[in-house]
Structure 1
Amino acid sequence: MPGSTKLHGWHLITTVAALTIFAEGYDIVVFGAVLPGLLVEPGWNLSTSAAGLIGSATYLGMLIGSVASGRFVDRFGARRILLTMTVFLALAVAACAVARSPIELGVFRFVLGLAVGGNIPAAIMAARVSAPSARMNLALTWISSGILGGGGGASLIAIPVLPTLGWRALFWIGAGISLVALAATALVIPKHPAAGGVRPAKVRFAQVMTARHRRLLIACILATTANMLVWNGMSTWLTTSMKELGYTLTSSLQFSLVLTVSALIGSLAFGLFADRAGARTAGLLSTGLGLIGLLGCVVGASTPGIAWIAVALLGAGAGSTTTMIGNVVAIGVPAPVRGTAFGLNNGLGRVGAIFGPLTGGWIIGATVGPAWFFAFCALVLVLCAAALALVPRPGAPADGASVTPHGDADRQDIPAAQ
């Protein structure tokens, strides 16, 4: 890849990679925005439990796509994976727009999840290679924040579009955004933004779970699983929960917008902080902030003033934590197995994303009220903090070996996992 990064510039590469994730963020979060319309769609008779199952189908696809894609990125480079998965993303979200039944919508959302899961490791690795080490956390956070920006865009666009044009129009808009991301990727992303531009040998999972990386990866996967359960459960059910608490549809959609916009702002702020204090420390702080927000939702979601502040804190905190955990993996694992390691963390962590919408559907459908769902998420976030605290500190031994990334093929000056 000699010269290609200089030709395009790491800022431009990172921004275009973030654009592909923006498209994915829109397509993921838009389901929560259209959910009130789906629940009253004539002829569908969609229950909250069935809606939660459809929402979880997306994250099941993301799990499979992310685990598989990480290995392909290590071997073939990010550009080919980004282009292929973005094509599938555009087709899948367009198919959602013409779905004729809940079953069809669930199948299309699963395929959409495969594309999203496949794209995320590729976008992260494109930035990981091109960005300078002094700005690594910020670059990786900028990529990951694309999904939050897309989610905020979905909530913002839904406010005028959903009441007037209906839920299908929101999916068509998502297909258009995906096509724009596809064109930008084809023009900007270099051909081989992976492991120094050299295609390595096939990576085996046993190479990733060595003593040197095992503790870091297991702790990160557990923390990611817990945080994704909270974040994706809240992203799916916040609009519906606020409606049940007596807010109007417009106000409920605005709560979802606040959640995603505050997550975007929080991620960028914690990304800057992580370049100084480390991603591990930033992740622990963001988890604590999210927990404060959830506790505010438990005690005061029915009071507008408290609710707005609590949702904003929840977004800034929990919306940033998974990004910080991903930064720990992307920085702390060396180049030959980095994509596979990130794919494992991001993919297996989707188990939490699968159960988030399902759990929300079960709890809210049981008529115990949204406050119980908020309380459940607070408990899970405590478990997330506990798992993240198990991540080795910089330079500390992990299962008898240093976590410092020796032999990093594309960068020798990358700091250890924070």
Structure 2
Amino acid sequence: MAQRRVTGSTVWMVVVLCGLSVAFDGYDLVVYGTTVPSLLAEWKIGPAEAGRLGSYALIGMLIGALLVGTITDLIGRRRTMIACVSWFSVLTALCAVAGSPEMFGVLRFLAGIGLGGLMPTAAALVVEYAPQGKQNITYAVMQSGYAVGGILAASLAIPVIPAAGWQTMYLIGAAPVLIVVPVALKWLPESLEYLVLRGETEKAEALAERLGVPVPEVARPAKRSLLTGLRELARPGFRTGTILLWISSFCALLMVYGMNTWLPQIMRQAQFPLGSALSFLLVFNLGSIVGSVLGGRAADLFGSRPVLVVSFLLAAASIAFLAVKPSVAIIYVLVAIAGYGTIGTQNLINVYVTRYYPATARSTGIGWSLGVGRLGAILGPAAGGLVLASGAGYAWNFYLFAAVAVLGLVAAALVPASPVLGRQFPVRAQVQLKESTA
């Protein structure tokens, strides 16, 4: 693909709009965890049933993530993202009027379809428009919106739930359709790669001229079909990496959703009051923001794979140490590190996946990676609920998530280099290569 220098204003607009959208994805992730204690009390349900309720949205996300590659092939990345934001915003707000666990679960499932389609679309857009050599850090800045949304949910829950009830937390989830969608309709650019792949050369040239960038050189397949991108993921050279990246995403998302769903309740079992337990959730997501930016920059310098391995290692160590219940100050530090080791690690996986494949398979690649990862996300809340319901003790939740981190570490360490030319070298390696050939 031709080297492109996208204007700063274009990058800023794409990052901000995608970041705001992803922030509400993060809000939706954490909002359920903040309301679990209230749902347990109001509907008289047990931890195992609450874990199943938490998984319904994730099943919807799995479906949305797997379908998004096909949808973007049909209508484009821009319209897909706007549709996903509108869909999950409305359905999240409807959760506030659910009168039973069954209706709540159905609404969460439907909202999850939109949430599942959002992340791959936002990832593909940001990586496409990111400056050359700064894809990881640009993506990390955008993806920090995910944790910002989680922090917003945890921060609002402390005063809002006691004063206005858990329903208000879901009404707030309608904000994206009012804040993000109108701006995106006016300012979010379509993917130039998508236009070229569709053969819409005139539209691509007009948009490229308006943005001040050249039209990307994308190899257009002779014939597009629903399985074109999926076949590319499985062809020789990509097949092993595809499977290992799927395993890595499975492990990371299992930890992300398991910890975000059950951390407040686990801390309640460890004899912390509700307000303090929710504050741990806030620190968990705050740690992921700082760590994601630092990890993204490190990945640009040293490559994604070694940074991923270190990130999984930090997750395993910090979560395992939480099981011994150290002092409160150390718990906060460990929770912050665990936030990076889980959410931050998944952020790094996402940008690694989008760069691992050619443009023709980018949306499908990240969609399937997140789709398989959603299986871990579905298992995380359910497994955490079963452990809590078993009476084995809260520490066993931490042991479970730490073991999953070790599995993710092994998978990430074994990912082979991408056969896509120019994508396997980090920035520092590129500089050294240029100097050696000068």
For 1:367 and 1:373, how far apart are their aligned partners in 2? 11
Is contact 1:219-1:390 (8 Å) kept?
yes
Is contact 2:303-2:425 (8 Å) kept?
no
For 1:381 and 1:4, how far apart are their aligned partners in 2? 37
TM-score under structure 1 normalisation?
0.91
Q: 1:23 deviation in Å?
A: 1.1
Select which of 229, 239, 245 maps to 2:270. Answer: 245
Aligned-pair Cα RMSD in Å: 2.0
Deviates more, 1:100-109 or 1:188-197: 188-197
Is contact 1:73-1:194 (8 Å) kept?
no
Is contact 1:68-1:118 (8 Å) kept?
yes
1:56 partnered with 2:55: yes
Q: 1:74 deviation in Å?
A: 4.1
For 1:136 and 1:75, how far apart are their aligned partners in 2? 26
The structure whose Rg is larger is: 2
Deviates more, 1:228-237 or 1:75-84: 75-84
Residues 333 and 75 of structure 1: CA distance in aligned 2, closer, same or farther (over 3 Å):
farther
For 1:33 and 1:88, how far apart are their aligned partners in 2? 22
Q: 1:73 deviation in Å?
A: 2.2
Cross-structure match for 1:347:
371
Q: 1:5 deviation in Å?
A: 5.9
Instruction: Report 1:238-387 matches (<5 A).
Output: 238-300=263-325, 303-387=327-411
Cα deviation 1:162-220 (Å, max 9, x = unaligned): 11111111111111244312223212211335446442633512232111211111100
For 1:189 and 1:5, how far apart are their aligned partners in 2? 14
Q: Unaligned regions of 5+ residues in structure 1, if any? A: 394-402, 407-412
Q: 1:297 deviation in Å?
A: 0.6
Q: Unaligned regions of 5+ residues in structure 2, if any? A: 199-219, 428-438
Q: 1:366 deviation in Å?
A: 1.0
Is contact 1:294-1:377 (8 Å) kept?
yes
Cross-structure match for 1:17:
18
Is contact 1:125-1:193 (8 Å) kept?
no
Is contact 2:302-2:426 (8 Å) kept?
no
Q: 1:417 deviation in Å?
A: 8.6
Cross-structure match for 2:419:
404
Cross-structure match for 1:409:
none
Q: 1:145 deviation in Å?
A: 2.4
Cross-structure match for 2:257:
232
Deviates more, 1:195-204 or 1:24-33: 195-204
Cross-structure match for 1:396:
none
Is contact 2:232-2:238 (8 Å) kept?
no
Cross-structure match for 1:397:
none
Instruction: Report 1:60-209 matches (<5 A).
Output: 60-195=59-194, 197-199=196-198, 201-204=224-227, 205-209=230-234
Cα deviation 1:263-318 (Å, max 9, x = unaligned): 111111101111101111111111111112112211125x3223212211111222
Cross-structure match for 2:209:
none
Is contact 1:328-1:417 (8 Å) kept?
no
Percent identity over the alignment? 31
1:222 partnered with 2:221: no
Partner letter of residue 143 of structure 2?
A: S
Residues 347 and 242 of structure 1: CA distance in aligned 2, closer, same or farther (over 3 Å):
same
For 2:165 and 2:194, how far apart are their aligned partners in 1? 45
Cα deviation 1:19-59 (Å, max 9, x = unaligned): 11111110121000111111111xx2221111100101111
Is contact 2:300-2:426 (8 Å) kept?
no
For 2:162 and 2:274, how far apart are their aligned partners in 1? 9
Cα deviation 1:97-142 (Å, max 9, x = unaligned): 1111101111111111111111111111111221112211112222
Is contact 2:93-2:174 (8 Å) kept?
yes
For 1:81 and 1:193, how far apart are their aligned partners in 2? 15
Partner letter of residue 225 of structure 2?
A: K
Q: How many residue pairs end up in the alignment? A: 398
Is contact 1:77-1:193 (8 Å) kept?
no
Residues 178 and 363 of structure 1: CA distance in aligned 2, closer, same or farther (over 3 Å):
farther
Is contact 2:5-2:131 (8 Å) kept?
no
The residue matched to 1:62 in structure 2 has which SS?
helix
Is contact 1:158-1:170 (8 Å) kept?
yes
For 1:207 and 1:385, how far apart are their aligned partners in 2? 25
TM-score under structure 2 normalisation?
0.87
